């Protein structure tokens, strides 16, 4: 608390990010040990977790006050105007301190207390168990002792870092290991080695004594570059993307030329193409594949996890996806704390590698709407928490560091909390039995890649569709289930009545109450009831840590009333209609 000088500022304005006429809401700003909270005059609360803050800026003083701009890692951008510069300065300084912690122990997860006892917490951590997962995949078996294989195929996905080959170095043991991998696959003696880097980068690495496998030194390998750019390129690409979509009054033309210049979708496509290459090698050629990049924890994680997702329907379930993240990301040393900038560290280590993975998954859910048990909200919630530092899962940079931090004793795991809420994350269209969707073969023509509005504008309500299909289908599904249950209950009552030899009139009455109308009429009844309910959790309900935030609550007319002389051409804001 030593960083907090001012805890409450009144008469603060929150500007609408996209309004060209500087529309704003007035309210009170509160600073707590973990959150920045803004409550506007309609009592609507905006919670911002300190750990989510990527950048705080204090702009030049204006006549209405001192502007404070906060950019968050979950792509929220807020623009406050604080009446007194003194207050603004205090808050700015506090946020600078609070958003960049020097020690792991100061992260929110170490103080977060959801009122669970030790055994509950431990059970939470055991919920996703990798040993179980390897058992599920059928390893160790006679061919495999340790590593990673795919359940249905003899072929396997393996991963490592780049070899330290330089220009001529060799390592016999490494060559033998690879030979052992290819021998472990009885179906195909050849194996692929995928280097996920662009060829030029890999060659440059040779000068530093690293590099890539020489096909001549390894027997039976086929070498392949797939050309995913490095973390620095990805970081600046995302930066460009955010600059474009943060522009006020953006034209269609600027948007598309900005998308092109940012290169973001090109990178997403490259990751996807690499995963498809991997899946095809295993599916079609039955060949094992060894995947690596430079260090083996960024691009390699992306490609291996996406490849697994394409091949194995289990990973497309809610629980399976958690396992996949634990397996291919957390346990294989994706450096979450560095990539997400959890601590005040080297900004050059920050990179949206995991965000890209989530975006690739989203693209898959768009192309295969029935193949995933979870919906978009699930992906957004996970993204929220890789940055929130509220749970221990993503803290630290590798397994070793995590054990040293005693995360399982001192923090909670995210997964049980998501599982408790899982009805929010169900995809109502999911079809677990569809054989056609056993292995996904996505089409990566350029047309298929779209800007993920619900991620990069998740807090910019005005840009979203005004009604949610998922909600209504979810509701209808629930209604249908409820009706089926009612039918069953009533039927069993009828049977009971019959057993008691009750007279037929009563049975008839009951039957009538069971099926009052035609299915069509029934549906229309459900529809009417359902749409009257406020659609509150169209995307997510947990905001940072606080479910009290009602971003999706009643959203009345903020439509700016135009001046008598000019009709405003601004249509960013509209009213909710359901």
Partner 1 sequence: MEFSELIRTGQAQAELLRGPEMPPLRGTLCVTGHHLLLSPGPQATPDLWLLLLRSVDSIEKRVAGDAGTITLRCKDLRVLQLDIEGVEATLDIARSIEALSSLESVITSFPFFYRPKGLRLGEAWHFHPPERYYKRIARETRAWRLSEANEDFSLCPSYPRAVIVPRAVDDDALARSARFRQGGRFPVLSYYHAPRGTVLLRSSQPLTGPQKLRCAEDEELLRAVLAEARPGARGFIVDTRSAQAAKQARMTGGGTEAKAAYPGWKRLHRPLERGRPLQESFVRLMEACGDPEQSMDRWLSRLDGCRWLSHVKEALSTACLAAQGMEWEGACILVHGAEGTDSTLLVTSLAQLILDPLSRTMAGFQELIEREWIQHEAPIFLLFLDCVWQLGRQFPLSLEFGEGMLLALFDHSYASPFGTFLCNSEKERCLCEVRTRTHSLWSGLNQPKEQRKLRNPLYVPNPLAIWPSVEPQSLRLWQGLFLRWTHPPEPSEVAWEKVWQIATDQKTEGSQPTDSASEPQP
- Write out the catalytic residue numbers: 293
Per CB under 8 A, the list member of 59, 130, 469, 506 interacting with partner 1 is: 469
Using rule CB under 8 A, residue 119 touches partner 1: no
CB closer to partner 1 out of 222 and 269: 269
Determine the interface stretch with partner 1 among 217-225, 233-241, 264-272, 293-301 (rule: CB under 8 A): 264-272
Q: Under a CB-based contact definition with an 8 Å cutoff, are residues 223 and 196 in contact?
A: no
Nearest-approach distance from CB 282 to partner 1, in angstroms = 22
Chosen residue from 22, 145, 239, 484 binding partner 1 by CB under 8 A? 484
DSSP letter at 208?
T
| Residue closer to partner 1 (CB basis): 112 or 255 | 255
* Radius of gyration of the chain measured on its C-alpha atoms: 27
Q: Going by DSSP bridges, is the β-strand pair 35-40/24-31 parallel, antiparallel, or unpaired? A: antiparallel
* Residue selected from 463, 525, 546, 553 as contacting partner 1 according to rule CB under 8 A: 463
Of 212-251, binders to partner 1 (CB under 8 A) are: 245, 250-251
Cβ-proximal residues to 576 (8 Å cutoff; 6+ apart), any chain: 466, 535, 554, 555, 556
User: Is residue 415 within the footprint of partner 1 (CB under 8 A)?
Assistant: no
Task: Catalogue the long-range contacts made by 68-74 (C-beta closer than 8 Å, 24 or more residues apart).
Answer: 68/92, 70/36, 70/95, 71/242, 72/48, 73/340, 73/341, 73/387, 74/383, 74/384, 74/387, 74/458, 74/459
Residue 511 CB, nearest approach to partner 1 (Å): 7
525-544 binders of partner 1 (CB under 8 A): 527-528, 531
Q: Which of 97, 217, 431, 550 binds partner 1 (CB under 8 A)?
A: 431
DSSP H or E run through 289: strand 288-292
Which tokens in the block code for residue 186? Answer: 């009885």
The correct pick among 21, 467, 493, 496 for binding partner 1 (CB under 8 A) is 467
When the beta carbons of 347 and 564 are compared against partner 1, the nearer one is 564
* Choice between 219 and 480, CB closer to partner 1: 480
CA–CA separation, 11 and 36 (whole Å): 15
Q: Which of 169, 464, 525, 550 binds partner 1 (CB under 8 A)?
A: 464
For residue 190, state whether it binds partner 1 (rule: CB under 8 A). Answer: no
- 179 or 523: CB nearest partner 1: 523
Does 436 bind partner 1 (CB under 8 A)? Our answer is yes
The distance in angstroms from the start CA to the end CA of the chain is 42
- The phi and psi torsions of 63 (rounded to 5 degrees) equal -65, -30
Q: DSSP secondary-structure letter at 47?
A: E
CB atoms inside a 10 Å sphere around CB 136: 13
Lateral strand order in the sheet of 288-292: 157-160, 288-292, 191-195, 221-225
Piece of 324-332, 383-391, 474-482, 548-556 that binds partner 1 (CB under 8 A): 474-482
Binding-site member from 109, 265, 289, 350 for partner 1 (CB under 8 A): 265
Residue 164 found at the interface with partner 1 (CB under 8 A): no
- 240 CB-contact burial (10 Å; exposed 0-12 / middle 13-18 / buried 19+): middle
If phi > 0 it is left, if psi is from -120 to 50 it is alpha, else beta; for residue 199 that is alpha
* Count of residues in contact with partner 1, rule CB under 8 A: 80
Span near partner 1 by CB under 8 A; candidates 126-134, 327-335, 376-384, 462-470: 462-470
Closest CA to 367 of 485, 275, 489: 275
Other Cβ atoms closer than 10 A to 266: 14
CB of 421 to partner 1, least distance (A): 22
Region near partner 1 per CB under 8 A, out of 20-28, 127-135, 326-334, 436-444: 436-444
Q: Does 408 bind partner 1 (CB under 8 A)?
A: no
- Of these, 85, 106, 129, 254, which contacts partner 1 (CB under 8 A)? 254
In angstroms, give the least distance from the CB of 350 to partner 1: 24
- Which class for 242: exposed (0-12), middle (13-18), buried (19 or more C-beta within 10 A)? middle
Instruction: Decide whether 175 or 558 has the Cβ nearer to partner 1.
Output: 558
Of 368, 374, 394, 426, which one interacts with partner 1 (CB under 8 A)?
368
What is the closest distance, in whole angstroms, from the C-beta atom of residue 183 to partner 1 in the complex? 38
User: Who contacts 255 (Cβ-Cβ below 8 Å, separation ≥6)?
Assistant: 244, 245
User: For residue 557, how far is the Cα from the chain centroid?
Assistant: 31
Task: Determine the 3-state secondary structure of 128 from DSSP.
Answer: coil
Strand 8-15 vs strand 24-31: parallel, antiparallel, or unpaired? antiparallel
- Among 105, 453, 502, 534, which residue interacts with partner 1 (rule: CB under 8 A)? 453
Answer whether 472's CB lies under 8 Å from 530's CB: yes
Residue 426 carries which DSSP code? B
Question: Rounded CA gap, 522 and 245, in Å?
Answer: 44
Q: How far is the CB of 228 from partner 1 (least distance, A)?
A: 14
3-state secondary structure of 122: helix
Rank residues 83 and 428 by Cβ distance to partner 1 and give the closer one: 428
CB 466, min distance to partner 1, A: 5
Chain residues 546-565 in contact with partner 1, contact rule CB under 8 A: 559, 561-562, 565
| Cis preceding linkage at 140, omega within 30 | yes
Residues of this chain, 489-518, that bind partner 1 according to CB under 8 A: 490-491, 494, 511, 514-515
Q: How far is the CB of 522 from partner 1 (least distance, A)?
A: 8
- Per rule CB under 8 A, is residue 577 in the interface with partner 1? yes
The answer to whether 465 contacts partner 1 (rule: CB under 8 A) is yes
Between strands 53-58 and 66-72, the pairing is: antiparallel
Would you count residue 256 as binding partner 1 (CB under 8 A)? yes
- Which one of residues 113, 117, 142, 446 is an interface residue with partner 1 (CB under 8 A)? 446
Handedness of CA 156, 402, 374, 357 (dihedral sign): negative
What would the x/- binding string for partner 1 be over residues 267 to 296, using CB under 8 A? --x---------------------------
Rank residues 406 and 450 by Cβ distance to partner 1 and give the closer one: 450
């Amino acid at each position: 608390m030593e960083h907090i000088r001012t805890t409450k500022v009144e008469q603060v304005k929150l500007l609408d990010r996209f309004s060209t006429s500087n529309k704003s809401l007035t309210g009170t700003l509160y600073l707590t040990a973990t959150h920045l909270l803004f409550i506007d005059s309609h009592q609507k609360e905006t919670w911002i977790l300190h750990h989510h803050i990527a950048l705080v800026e204090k702009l030049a003083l204006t006549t209405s006050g001192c502007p404070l701009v906060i950019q968050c890692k979950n792509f929220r951008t807020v623009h406050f105007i604080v009446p007194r510069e003194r207050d603004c300065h205090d808050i700015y300084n506090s946020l600078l301190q609070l958003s960049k912690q020097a020690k792991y122990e100061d992260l929110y997860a170490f103080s977060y207390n959801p009122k669970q006892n030790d055994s509950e917490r431990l059970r939470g951590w055991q919920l996703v168990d990798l040993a179980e997962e390897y058992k599920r995949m059928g390893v160790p078996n006679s061919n495999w002792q340790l590593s990673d294989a795919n359940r249905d195929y003899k072929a396997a996905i393996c991963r490592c870092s780049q070899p330290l080959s330089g220009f001529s170095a060799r390592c016999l043991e490494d060559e033998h290991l690879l030979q052992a991998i290819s021998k472990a696959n009885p179906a195909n003696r050849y194996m692929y080695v995928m280097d996920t880097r662009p060829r030029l980068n890999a060659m440059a690495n040779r000068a530093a004594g690293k590099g890539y496998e020489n096909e001549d030194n390894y027997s039976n390998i086929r070498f392949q570059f797939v050309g995913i750019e490095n973390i620095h390129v990805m970081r600046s690409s995302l930066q460009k993307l955010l600059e474009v979509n943060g522009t006020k009054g953006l034209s269609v033309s600027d948007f598309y030329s900005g998308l092109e210049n940012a290169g973001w979708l090109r990178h997403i496509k490259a990751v996807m193409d690499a995963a498809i290459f991997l899946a095809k090698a295993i599916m079609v050629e039955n060949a094992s594949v060894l995947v690596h990049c430079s260090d083996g924890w960024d691009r390699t994680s992306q490609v291996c996890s996406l490849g697994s997702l394409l091949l194995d329907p289990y990973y497309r379930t809610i629980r399976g996806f958690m396992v996949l993240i634990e397996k291919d990301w957390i346990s294989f040393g994706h450096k979450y704390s560095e990539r997400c900038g959890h601590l005040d560290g080297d900004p050059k280590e920050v990179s949206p590698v995991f965000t890209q993975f989530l975006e690739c998954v989203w693209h898959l859910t768009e192309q295969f709407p029935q193949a995933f048990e979870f919906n978009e909200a699930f992906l957004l919630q996970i993204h929220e928490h890789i940055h929130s530092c509220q749970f221990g899962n993503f803290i630290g940079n590798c397994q070793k560091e995590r054990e040293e931090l005693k995360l399982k004793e001192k923090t909670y795991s995210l997964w049980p909390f998501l599982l408790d809420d899982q009805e929010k994350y169900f995809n109502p269209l999911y079809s677990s039995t569809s054989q056609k969707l056993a292995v996904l073969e996505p089409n990566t023509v350029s047309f298929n890649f779209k800007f993920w509005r619900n991620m990069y504008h998740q807090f910019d309500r005005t840009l979203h569709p005004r009604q949610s299909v998922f909600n209504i289908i979810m509701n209808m599904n629930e209604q249908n289930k409820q009706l089926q249950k009612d039918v069953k209950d009533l039927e069993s009552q009828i049977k009971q009545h019959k057993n008691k030899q009750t007279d037929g009139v009563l049975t008839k009455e009951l039957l009538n109450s069971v099926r009052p109308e035609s299915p069509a009429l029934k549906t229309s009844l459900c529809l009417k009831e359902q749409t009257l309910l406020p659609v509150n959790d169209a995307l997510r309900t947990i905001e940072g840590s606080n479910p009290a935030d009602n971003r999706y609550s009643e959203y009345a007319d903020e439509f700016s009333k135009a001046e008598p002389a000019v009709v405003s051409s601004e249509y960013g804001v509209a009213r909710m209609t359901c």
